[in-house]
Structure 1
C-alpha cells in the first residue's frame, strides 16, 4: 500500500520527473560537446616478486609463497611510486621541457608568458638543481614560491598530476601498470616514462644503500665474533699447557679403568689369601703336635737361598703392581717363581723327617702355600697403595675438568654466534647481489585517443537528475506524516470511521445539489452525505442528539452539519440544527436564525420561526461565553428533553476540541459524537490529548468523517 502511494506521488509529479532530466541532458550536451579528446599512455614495470625465473639463487627452498606477503610488497612499491618526491621529479622535468623546448606540452600560462629570458634561465638552473638533488621547492622562500606558482599555473604541480595518474598491480601478475590521461598523447607518455625511470632509480639506490649498510654492519659484527672466538680458544689452550692437560677426558677414563683393574686384582688377591690360609690350616691339622714341633724346628733352619729368593720375588711383585701389571715384568716373576719352587724342592729333600711319618709331600705343599700366601698378602698392600695414588690423581683432575668445561661452553656459545652471523652475512651478501629486480618492461608510447565518453556523460546526467528527483520525492514521501486516506486516519488514531467527503470548490448550494444533477464532484458529495447519514442512523439507534466536533478550526464541521441536516430533511425528518460554536458562529451568520441559544436556554421561548417545514436552526450571538454559563446542567438537559419531543434529530455543531471545555460542555448532552478531520494534515503532538479524549468516550464516539479527500481515489 505504501509503495503504491509512492508511485501515485511519482505519477502526480511526472512532469517534474520529465522536465528536470531533460534540462540536465540539454545542459550536459552543451557542456561536453567542446571537450577535448583524452589520451592514455601506459607503462609496465616488472618487479620480479612472483617471477620464479629470477629467483634461481635466492629461491625459498620450501617453495612456499605467501600471497599476503606478496600483496604487501606490491602495495609498498605502489606507495613509494606515489611519493611526493617522485611526483616532484616529474614536475621538474615537465617544466624544464616547456622552458627549453620550442614545442611545449601545454599552451603557456599567463604567468609563464610574463617571464623574461633572464627569469627563464634562472628557473631552468634552479629546477635542474632541484631535480638532480631530488629536493622539494620551499614555500617559505620567495624565489622558490614563485616557481611553485609557475608549476600550478601550468598544472604541473603535484596535486594536478595526481588527479589523472593511475598506478595499480596488473591483476595477479608480476607487473605494475602506470598510466596517465591527458589532452596530449606526448605529454601522457612523457609523464609515465619519467615517473617509472625515476622510481626505478630511486628504489634501486635506496635498496642498494640499505643492503650495503647491512652487509658492512654484518662484516664488522662477524669480525668481532671471530676475534672473541679466537680469544676464548687461545685461553683454553694456555690453560691446558699450563696445567699439563693433553686430553682430560681420556686421562680420566684411563685412571678410572686402572682403578677398576686394581680393585679386581685386590679382590682376587683377598680370595687367594683366604684360600691359602684354609689350605695351610688343613695341612697343619694333619700333623700331630710332636710332628708339628719337629717340622717347625726344621723350618727354623730354612735355607737362606729360599729366603733371598722370596725377598726378590716380593720386590718384583711390588714393581709389577706399581707398573699397573706391566706384561713385561710377568716373565721375570714367572722365572723367579720357578726358581723358588726348585729351591723349596731341594730344601725339602734335606729335611729330616720322622721315620715313622711319611709326610714329606705335605711339608712341601705347606711351604709352597705359605710362600704363595705371603706373595698374595704383599700384593694386596701394593694394590691398595696404587689405588690410593690413582684416586689422588683422579681427584686432581676434577677442578681441571670443571674449568675446561667452562672454557668449552664459552667457546661453543661464541662459535654458535659466529656461525649465525656468518650465515646471515652470506645470505645478506647473496640477496644484495640479486635483490634489485625492478625493470621497465614496456615503455609508454603515445596512443590514439580514448573512445569518446560524451554520450555516456549526457546519458548519466539525465539518469542522475532523474534519480535525484526520485530521491527528493521519496524523502518528502517518507517524511510526510499527513493523513490522505480514511485508512490512514483509522490507523493513526485507532478509532472508527463513519465516512469521508470529497473536496468541492466554490460555494455549496444544497438546494441545487438535491434538486438537479450536477457534475461528478457534486454527485459524489451527495452520495457520500447519504452514506454518512446512514451510518449515523445506525449509531444513534433511536437516540436524537448528534454532536459534531473537530480537533481544530476550519476542518469542515459547518459544511457537514448543514449538509447532514439538509439530508435528513430530504427524508422527511424534523431536524434541529444548533450552532454551538460561540467563537465562530458561521451557521448563525449564514442562516440568520430566529431563535438563539442565549434566549432559549435562559427563557422559555415558544414563538420561533422555522427555516423550512421540517428544519429549524438555533443560532448564537457569539462572544466569549460557554454553554454552562448560560444555565446549569439540569436546566439545559430539561430543555434538550423538550427539544427531543419536537424533533426527530438534533444536530449540534460544537467548537473544536482545541477550545477545551467549550466543546466538551456541548458533548455532555449529545447521545453520539462524530469528529470531522481535514485530509492532508498531520496530527500534532498537542492534539494527541484530544484524540485520547475521543477514545475515552468509548461507544459514545460514533467515528471520524474525513473531509476534503481526493475524489480520484474514491470508487463506487
Structure 2
C-alpha cells in the first residue's frame, strides 16, 4: 500500500520528474560540448618485494600482510606533496625553457618579464635539487606558488590527474596520468615515477644509515660491558690467587677420596692385627711372658727406636701425599727392623723347654705393623682435615667466579645477538633499493569521449535525486491522501470521496447541468454519496448532521450539494444552517426564515425554497442551540419537521468547537464527518477522533478535495 501511495506521489509530480532532468541534460550538454579530449599514459614500477630472484639466498619471504603494508607505504609516498612538488618543478622548468610548452601560459606567466622567468627557473632548479616542498612561507615562494597554481601544475591539480595502484597481486605498481595533452600525460607519469624512485632511495638509505649507526653504538656498548665483566673476573682471580677452581676442586676431591680409601683399609688392618696379637698372647703362659720380658730388654730397646723412626717416616709419607722417595726409606727401615726381630729370635730368650720361638717373632712383627697402622690412621685423618679445610675455602670463590661467569655469558650472548643483527643488516643494505622503472609512459591516442556519458549521467542523476527528494518528503509527510488510509488510522469507515473543485463560486444548478468531465465526475460522486447515506437513513432516522474536524474542510459545500442531490431526486429536503459562529449557508442563500425564530415559535416554516429544497438560516453571533430552546422543544420541533420532509440535513459547527457541534449531533439521527484530503491526523485532534469513534450514530467519513 505504501508503495502504491509513493507511486501516486510520483505521478502527481510527474512534470517535475520530467522537466528537471531535461533542464539538467541541456545544461550539461552546453557545459561539456567544448570539453577537450583526454589522453592517458601509464608507467610501471618493479618493486622487487615479491620477485624471488632479487632476494638474498636464505632470506625468508614476506607475509601477505607485510606486502600489503609495504605496497601501501610506497603508494602513499608517491602521493606525498614532496613527490608531487618535484613534478611541479619539472613541469614549470619545461614550460619556462621550452618553445613548445605543454600548456598555454597563464595570465600571470604572460606578465613575467624575461629576467623574472630566468629567476623563476633558477629558484625552481634549486628547489628541485634540495627536494624541498613549495610552501607560501615567504614572498618569493608565494609568487612561485601562485605561478604554479595558475598553470594548474600545483600538487593538488597533479594529484587529481594521476592514479597509482598495485597491479593485482603482482610485483608492479602502475602510475597513470590523464590530461588534455598526450605528451603532458606521458611526462607526468614518467616524472612521478623517477622522482618517487629517487626520493624513496634517499629515504631508505638515510634510514638504513641511522639504523646501522644505532646498531653499531649499541654493539660497542655491549662489547664494553662484556669486557668490563671479564676484567672484573680477572682481577678477582689475581687478588685471590685462583688459577683454575674447577681443576683445583677436582684434585682436592680426588685426594680426599684416596685418603678416605686408605683410612678405611688401614682401620681394617688395625682390627685384624689386634685380633692376631690377641690370639698370640693367649698362647703364652704367664711364666713365658715373664721370661720373655726379662731376657729381651736390650734388643727391645733397639726395636723401639726403629719403630719411632718408622713412625716418623710414615707421617712424612702421608703428609707428602705418599711420596715414593719416603716410601723407599720406610722399606729400608722395615728391613732393619725385621733383622732386629730375627736377632731377638736367635737368642734363647725363651725357656729352653718352650717351643714358641716362631710365635715370639710373629708377635713382634704384628706389634710393629699395628703401631704403623695406628700412626697412619692418625696421619691420614689429619691430612683429610687439612684437605677438607682447603676445599671449604674454595666454595665462596667458586660462587663468586660462577656469578662473574654468568654475567659474562649473558653479556656475550647480548653482544653476539647485536653483532649478528648488525651483520645481517649490513649484508642487506646493498640489495635494499630494488625499485626500477620497467615500462616508460608514452603518448597514446585520445580516450573515448565521455561527453555523451556525462550528459546521460546528468539526466539519470537528476532524476534519481528528484525521486529521492520526493521519497524523503513522502516519508516525512503524515498527510492522509485516500479513504483507506483514513479508515485505517481512525477505525471509522469511509462512505465516499469527493474530488477537488477548482472554481471559486459554485452554482448548484451548473453542477447538475454542466457536461464537462470534472463536473460529471463530481456529480457521480455526489450521487454515490446520496445512495450510500440514503441507504443508512430510514423513516425514523431522517436527520443527518454533517461536521468536520476543523474549518474549511468543505463541510458546508457537501451539505449544500447533498441537499441539492436529494432535491433533484424528488425528495423533500430541509437544509439547516446550524453553524452559528460561521453561517456560510445563510450568507450565501439569504433565507427568509431563521432557526432561532422557528424554535422559539416566532415564525412558521416558510424559508427560501428551491424546488424540493427548503433552507433554514441563523442569525449568527455567539449563540448556542440549547440557549435558543430546551431540548424537549427542540426534539418536538424537529419531530414535526420529520413529518414534512424526507431528509433533514444540518450543517453543524466544527469539532474544534466541541460543545456547539455536539448540541446538534445529539439531536441528529445520524452523523457524517468531512475530512479534507492531504491533512494529517495530529495528536491535537485525538479528543475529536475519540468522540467520533465512540459515537454510535456515526455513519463514516466523506473525503473531500481528493
Give TM-score, length-normalised by structure 1: 0.90
Deviation at 1:382, TM superposition (A): 0.8
| SS in structure 1 at match of 2:449 | coil
The answer to whether the 8 Å contact 2:607/2:616 transfers is no
1:251-281: CA deviation from partner (whole Å, max 9, x where unpaired): 0121122112212222332232233223322
| SS in structure 1 at match of 2:681 | coil
Aligned counterpart in structure 2 of residue 262 of structure 1, from 251, 259, 267: 259
Aligned to 2:4: 4
Aligned to 1:639: 637
Instruction: Rate the CA distance shift 1:58–1:143 in 2: closer, same or farther, 3 A.
Output: farther
Indicate yes or no: 2:463 matched with 1:469: no
Matches of 1:397 and 1:36, distance apart in 2: 96
Indicate yes or no: 2:115 matched with 1:118: yes
Aligned counterpart in structure 2 of residue 547 of structure 1, from 545, 548, 573: 545
Aligned to 2:531: 531
Gaps of 5+ in 2: none
| SS in structure 2 at match of 1:668 | helix
Aligned to 1:669: 667
1:550-604: CA deviation from partner (whole Å, max 9, x where unpaired): 1122323234334444555577765433210123323334554443211122236
Aligned counterpart in structure 2 of residue 486 of structure 1, from 483, 488, 491: 483
Aligned to 2:628: 630
| SS in structure 1 at match of 2:103 | coil
Matches of 2:516 and 2:300, distance apart in 1: 182
The answer to whether the 8 Å contact 2:670/2:698 transfers is yes
Aligned to 2:315: 318
Aligned to 1:418: 415
Deviation at 1:620, TM superposition (A): 1.3
Q: How does 1:228-627 map to 2 (within 5 A)?
A: 228-326=225-323, 330=327, 333-334=330-331, 336-337=333-334, 339-503=336-500, 507=506, 509=508, 513=512, 520-522=520-522, 524-537=524-537, 542-566=540-564, 568=566, 575-603=573-601, 605-606=603-604, 608=606, 611=609, 616-627=614-625
Instruction: Rate the CA distance shift 1:645–1:341 in 2: closer, same or farther, 3 A.
Output: farther
Which range moved further: 546-555 or 359-368? 359-368
Matches of 1:512 and 1:100, distance apart in 2: 86
Aligned to 2:151: 154
The answer to whether the 8 Å contact 1:533/1:568 transfers is no
Aligned to 1:712: none
Matches of 1:134 and 1:78, distance apart in 2: 18
Aligned to 1:681: 679
Matches of 1:285 and 1:402, distance apart in 2: 59
Deviation at 1:515, TM superposition (A): 13
| SS in structure 1 at match of 2:600 | coil
Deviation at 1:347, TM superposition (A): 1.9
1:411-449: CA deviation from partner (whole Å, max 9, x where unpaired): 223322321221122112112222111112222221221
Aligned to 1:690: 688
Aligned counterpart in structure 2 of residue 91 of structure 1, from 88, 91, 99: 88
Aligned to 1:193: 190
Deviation at 1:654, TM superposition (A): 0.3
Matches of 1:51 and 1:83, distance apart in 2: 26
The answer to whether the 8 Å contact 2:296/2:344 transfers is no
1:636-658: CA deviation from partner (whole Å, max 9, x where unpaired): 34433444455554322101112
Deviation at 1:408, TM superposition (A): 1.9
Instruction: Rate the CA distance shift 1:549–1:169 in 2: closer, same or farther, 3 A.
Output: same
The answer to whether the 8 Å contact 1:47/1:175 transfers is yes
Instruction: Rate the CA distance shift 1:573–1:31 in 2: closer, same or farther, 3 A.
Output: closer
Which range moved further: 401-410 or 437-446? 401-410
| SS in structure 1 at match of 2:678 | coil
Aligned to 1:43: 43
Which range moved further: 321-330 or 188-197? 321-330
Report the number of matched residues: 703
The answer to whether the 8 Å contact 2:163/2:175 transfers is yes
Matches of 1:408 and 1:444, distance apart in 2: 65
The answer to whether the 8 Å contact 2:299/2:340 transfers is no
The answer to whether the 8 Å contact 1:58/1:431 transfers is no
Deviation at 1:53, TM superposition (A): 1.1
Matches of 1:399 and 1:616, distance apart in 2: 135
**Which stretches of structure 1, 4 residues or longer, exceed 6 Å deviation after superposition?**
514-519
Instruction: Rate the CA distance shift 1:513–1:121 in 2: closer, same or farther, 3 A.
Output: closer
Matches of 2:510 and 2:24, distance apart in 1: 53
1:665-712: CA deviation from partner (whole Å, max 9, x where unpaired): 222222332111122333344333322332243x23221111233xxx
Indicate yes or no: 2:104 matched with 1:107: yes
Matches of 1:570 and 1:242, distance apart in 2: 140
Aligned counterpart in structure 1 of residue 649 of structure 2, from 643, 648, 651: 651
The answer to whether the 8 Å contact 1:533/1:567 transfers is no
Give TM-score, length-normalised by structure 2: 0.91
The answer to whether the 8 Å contact 2:303/2:340 transfers is yes
Aligned to 1:144: 141
The answer to whether the 8 Å contact 2:508/2:564 transfers is no
The answer to whether the 8 Å contact 2:545/2:670 transfers is yes
Which range moved further: 604-613 or 344-353? 604-613
Indicate yes or no: 2:33 matched with 1:33: yes
The answer to whether the 8 Å contact 2:233/2:401 transfers is yes
Instruction: Rate the CA distance shift 1:148–1:624 in 2: closer, same or farther, 3 A.
Output: same
| SS in structure 2 at match of 1:387 | helix
1:20-79: CA deviation from partner (whole Å, max 9, x where unpaired): 33333333333323221111111111111121111124712xx4x321111111111222
Gaps of 5+ in 1: 710-716
Instruction: Rate the CA distance shift 1:331–1:531 in 2: closer, same or farther, 3 A.
Output: farther
Matches of 2:304 and 2:438, distance apart in 1: 110
Matches of 1:10 and 1:405, distance apart in 2: 93
| SS in structure 1 at match of 2:5 | helix
Matches of 1:259 and 1:226, distance apart in 2: 42
**RMSD of the alignment, in Å?**
3.0
The answer to whether the 8 Å contact 1:513/1:526 transfers is no
Matches of 1:129 and 1:271, distance apart in 2: 104
Instruction: Rate the CA distance shift 1:220–1:584 in 2: closer, same or farther, 3 A.
Output: closer
The answer to whether the 8 Å contact 1:46/1:439 transfers is yes
| SS in structure 2 at match of 1:657 | coil
Indicate yes or no: 2:206 matched with 1:216: no
Matches of 2:87 and 2:233, distance apart in 1: 64
Matches of 1:42 and 1:103, distance apart in 2: 22
